[in-house]
C-alpha cells in the first residue's frame, strides 16, 4: 500500500454525521480539501447532495449561519462546492452543518436581495406577471491558471532526476437560467482548458468538459417534471450522468419516474452512443415532527453495442433522521452476466448516535465489489471492505474528533487507520484560527504517518491560511519522507468579484514540486 492510499483512507475516514435541526434537515460534513475556491466535502449523493444544489452552511456547534455553498459536482461519497455569494472562513478538517437552502424551494427572498430593494416596492399585477416571465440567470464564471513544476528522483537518485512543468489555463462556467419561455430552465456547467507540458513528445492539448447541459420543465397543473440533455438524476443516486430524457411524476411524498439515454465517457465527459442505458425508479420522502425519512429504489440496464457484457443492477437508498440520531443505508445488487447470479456490489451503512448535548458516536460499514466477475488470478483487487468507529465532540466554536478504520482488500490481511482532527475556526488570539489533522496507517511491514497543522485568519471577506503537511512512509527497507507548505489567500475585488491565490511547495526524498494556482471568479 502506497502513501497516497493511506492519505485516501484518511480522507474517507472523515464521514458524514446526520444532524437534523428544527424545521430543516441538516448534515454535519467534514471539509476534506480546499483548492482555490473549490471546497471538497466528505458527503455526496449518498447523503442526498446533487449537482446545482444550493446549501445553507452553519457552524458545527451553533445555529450561526455562515453563508451559502453551490454544488459543482458530486460523487457517491464526496462533493465539490464553491461559495454562492460572499466567501466565509472555511478550513480543511473543519466540521460544518449544511442544509438545503429554503429560498430555493419556497420562493422566498434571495439572500443577496437588499431589504427595501425593488422586491419591496408595490407593483401592479400585470407588472408582477411580467417580472415572473423574465428570464433569470445565476451562477459563477471563473478564469484561472494552474502551474506545476516538479522534480522526480526515482529511488531518491538525484543523478536521474526528471524535471517537468505543467501549465493549465482554464475557463469555467456554471449557470442556471430560470423562467425561460414555456416555463423552461436551462442548466449548464462546463470547463474549457489547455494543458501545456514540457518534455519531448508531449504537445499542448485542449479539452472541453461538459458536466451538465440540460433543460428542465415543471408543469403547473400536474406534478410532472422533465429533464432533457446532459443531466444528473436528482431523484435517485445510482445512475450517475445521462445524455437523454427523464420523466418524473409525483410531489413531496411518493414519486415515480423513468429515464432513457446514453452513458457519457467517464474519463472526459465526451458524448457517446455505444452505451445506451435505461432506468426506472421510485422515490419517497416523509417528514413528521422530528422524524424524517427519505428513500429511493431504482433498476438500471446498460447495453453496450460493442463486444462487452450488458449490465443490470438494482439500487436502494434510505435515510432516517430523528432529532440528532441518524442512520443511512445504501445497497446495490448487480447481476453477473457470466452466470446470472445476483451479488451485492455496494453496501454502505452509517449512523450517528448522540451521547449528550455535544458528543456524537459515529459508525460506518462499507463494502465494494467489482460489478464484473474477474478471473481468480487477477492481481487487481475486486472487493474492498471497511468499518469505522469514532466520535465527534463540539465545544465553544470548535470541535475535536477521532476514529479508527479497519480495511481489507479481497482476502488480504486487515489494515488499520487511526485518524483525528482538532479545529478552532476563530480564537480570541488576534482572531486567528487553528486546526490540526493526523492519521497513522499500518499493514504488515508498511506504515504511514500524516500530520497537518494549520493557522488561518479572516478579516471581513479577506481570508488567508498557512498550513504544513508531513508524510512519512516506512517500509521493510527504507523510509520515505515528504513535507509541504501551503498558503491560501482570497479577497474581493468588487461586491461579487473575487481573486484567489494558492501556492504550495513540496520537498522530499523522491519528489520536489512547486505549484501556483491563481484565479478570478464572478458570482452572478
Does pLDDT of 410 surpass 50?
yes
Greater confidence (29 vs 307) lies with 29
User: In the predicted model, what is the mean pLDDT of the chain?
Assistant: 80
Average pLDDT over residues 263-277: 89
Dist. CA 175–CA 58, nearest whole Å: 25
Residues recorded for the chain: 524
% of the chain with per-residue pLDDT over 70:
79
pLDDT value of position 8: 34
| pLDDT exceeds cutoff 90 at 229 | yes
**Least confident stretch, 148-162, 394-408, 480-494:** 148-162
- Residue 88 reports pLDDT greater than 80: no
335-357 pLDDT, tens digit per residue, is: 987 778 899 999 999 999 999 88
Distance CA 138, CA 15 (A): 31
Segment 413-421 shows an average pLDDT of 91
What was the pLDDT predicted at 37? Answer: 64
Interval 271-293: pLDDT, tens? 999 999 999 999 998 888 888 89
Q: How far apart are CA 504 and CA 500, in angstroms?
A: 14
Instruction: Reply yes or no on whether the pLDDT at 226 is more than 60.
Output: yes
Which pLDDT band holds residue 269 (cuts at 50, 70, 90)? confident
Provide the pLDDT confidence category of residue 387 given band limits of 50, 70 and 90: very high
pLDDT: which is higher, 130 or 260: 260
- What integer pLDDT is reported at residue 356 of this predicted model? 85
Long-range CB contact pairs, 84-88, < 8 A, 24+: 84/54, 84/140, 84/523, 85/111, 85/112, 85/496, 85/523, 86/461, 86/492, 87/37, 87/461, 87/463, 87/490, 87/492, 87/498, 88/57, 88/458
Answer whether residue 59 shows pLDDT above 80: no
E-strand stretches of 445-496? 446-459, 462-474, 479-492
pLDDT at 13 over 50: no
Helix (H, G, I), strand (E, B) or coil at 70: strand
Q: Report the chain's terminal Cα–Cα distance, integer Å.
A: 45
Other beta carbons less than 10 A from residue 423's beta carbon: 24
Encode pLDDT of 90-140 as tens digits.
766 667 778 765 433 333 333 333 323 333 333 344 444 444 568 889 888
Q: Which 3-state string (H, E, C) describes 314-336? A: EEEEEEEEECCEEEEEEEEEEEE
Among 25-39, 188-202, 427-441, the minimum mean pLDDT is found in 25-39
**pLDDT category of residue 519 using cuts at 50, 70 and 90:** very high
pLDDT at 307: 66
Q: Are strands 325-336 and 341-354 parallel, antiparallel or unpaired?
A: antiparallel
Task: Give pLDDT, residue 347.
Answer: 95
* pLDDT given at position 155: 66
Q: β-pairing, 325-336 with 276-288?
A: unpaired
Residue 259: per-residue pLDDT? 97
- pLDDT tens per residue, range 494-515: 888 989 999 999 998 888 999 9
Which of 35-39, 44-48, 141-145 ranks highest by mean pLDDT? 141-145
Torsion of Cα atoms, 239 then 242 then 248 then 254, to 10°: 20
Contact 139, 174 (CB under 8 A): yes
Task: With a cut of 80, say whether residue 234 has pLDDT above it.
Answer: yes
Burial category of 304 from C-beta neighbours within 10 Å (exposed 0-12, middle 13-18, buried 19 and up): middle
Least confident stretch, 11-20, 156-165, 443-452: 11-20
Amino acid at each position: 500500500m502506497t502513501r497516497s492510499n493511506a492519505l485516501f483512507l484518511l480522507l474517507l475516514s472523515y464521514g458524514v454525521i446526520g444532524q437534523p435541526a428544527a424545521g430543516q434537515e441538516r448534515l454535519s460534513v467534514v471539509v476534506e480539501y480546499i483548492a482555490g475556491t473549490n471546497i471538497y466535502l466528505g458527503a455526496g449523493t449518498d447523503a442526498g447532495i446533487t449537482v446545482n444544489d444550493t446549501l445553507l452552511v452553519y457552524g458545527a456547534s451553533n445555529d450561526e449561519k455562515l453563508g451559502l455553498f453551490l454544488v459543482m459536482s458530486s460523487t457517491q461519497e464526496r462533493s465539490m462546492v464553491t461559495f454562492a455569494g460572499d466567501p466565509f472562513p472555511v478550513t480543511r478538517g473543519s466540521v460544518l452543518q449544511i442544509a438545503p437552502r429554503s429560498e430555493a424551494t419556497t420562493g422566498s427572498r434571495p439572500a443577496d436581495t437588499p431589504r427595501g430593494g425593488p422586491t419591496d416596492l408595490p407593483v401592479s399585477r400585470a407588472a408582477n406577471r411580467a417580472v415572473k416571465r423574465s428570464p433569470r440567470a445565476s451562477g459563477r464564471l471563473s478564469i484561472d491558471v494552474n502551474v506545476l513544476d516538479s522534480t522526480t528522483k526515482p529511488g531518491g537518485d538525484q543523478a536521474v532526476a526528471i524535471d517537468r512543468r505543467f501549465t493549465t489555463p482554464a475557463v469555467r462556467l456554471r449557470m442556471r437560467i430560470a423562467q425561460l419561455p414555456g416555463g423552461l430552465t436551462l442548466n449548464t456547467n462546463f470547463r474549457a482548458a489547455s494543458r501545456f507540458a514540457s518534455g519531448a513528445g508531449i504537445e499542448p492539448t485542449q479539452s472541453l468538459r461538459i458536466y451538465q447541459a440540460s433543460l428542465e420543465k415543471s408543469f403547473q397543473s400536474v406534478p410532472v417534471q422533465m429533464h432533457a440533455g446532459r443531466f444528473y438524476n436528482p431523484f435517485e443516486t445510482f445512475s450517475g450522468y445521462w445524455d437523454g430524457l427523464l420523466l418524473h411524476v409525483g410531489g413531496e411524498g411518493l414519486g415515480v419516474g423513468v429515464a432513457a439515454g446514453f452513458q457519457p465517457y467517464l474519463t472526459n465527459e465526451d458524448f457517446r452512443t455505444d452505451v445506451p442505458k435505461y432506468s426506472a425508479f421510485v422515490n419517497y420522502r416523509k417528514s413528521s415532527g422530528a422524524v424524517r425519512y427519505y428513500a429511493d429504489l431504482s433498476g438500471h440496464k446498460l447495453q453496450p453495442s460493442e463486444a462487452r457484457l450488458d449490465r443490470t443492477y438494482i439500487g436502494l437508498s434510505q435515510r432516517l433522521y430523528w432529532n440528532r440520531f441518524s442512520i443511512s443505508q445504501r445497497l446495490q445488487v448487480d447481476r453477473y452476466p457470466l452466470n446470472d447470479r445476483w451479488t451485492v456490489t455496494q453496501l454502505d451503512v452509517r449512523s450517528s448516535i448522540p451521547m449528550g448535548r455535544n458528543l456524537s458516536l459515529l459508525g460506518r460499514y462499507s463494502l465494494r465489489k467489482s460489478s464484473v466477475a474477474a478471473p481468480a488470478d487477477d492481481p487487481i483487487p475486486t472487493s474492498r471492505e471497511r468499518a469505522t468507529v469514532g466520535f465527534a465532540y463540539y465545544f465553544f466554536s470548535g470541535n475535536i474528533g477521532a476514529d479508527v478504520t479497519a480495511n481489507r482488500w479481497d482476502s488480504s490481511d486487515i489494515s488499520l487507520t487511526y485518524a483525528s482532527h482538532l479545529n478552532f475556526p476563530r480564537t480570541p488570539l488576534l482572531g486567528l484560527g487553528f486546526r490540526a489533522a493526523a492519521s497513522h496507517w499500518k499493514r504488515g511491514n508498511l506504515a504511514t504517518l500524516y500530520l497537518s497543522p494549520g493557522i488561518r485568519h479572516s478579516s471581513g471577506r479577506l481570508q488567508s491560511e498557512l498550513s504544513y503537511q508531513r508524510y512519512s512512509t516506512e517500509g521493510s527497507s527504507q523510509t520515505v519522507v515528504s513535507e509541504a507548505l501551503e498558503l491560501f489567500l482570497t479577497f474581493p475585488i468588487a461586491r461579487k468579484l473575487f481573486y484567489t491565490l494558492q501556492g504550495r511547495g513540496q520537498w522530499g526524498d523522491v519528489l520536489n514540486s512547486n505549484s501556483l494556482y491563481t484565479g478570478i471568479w464572478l458570482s452572478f
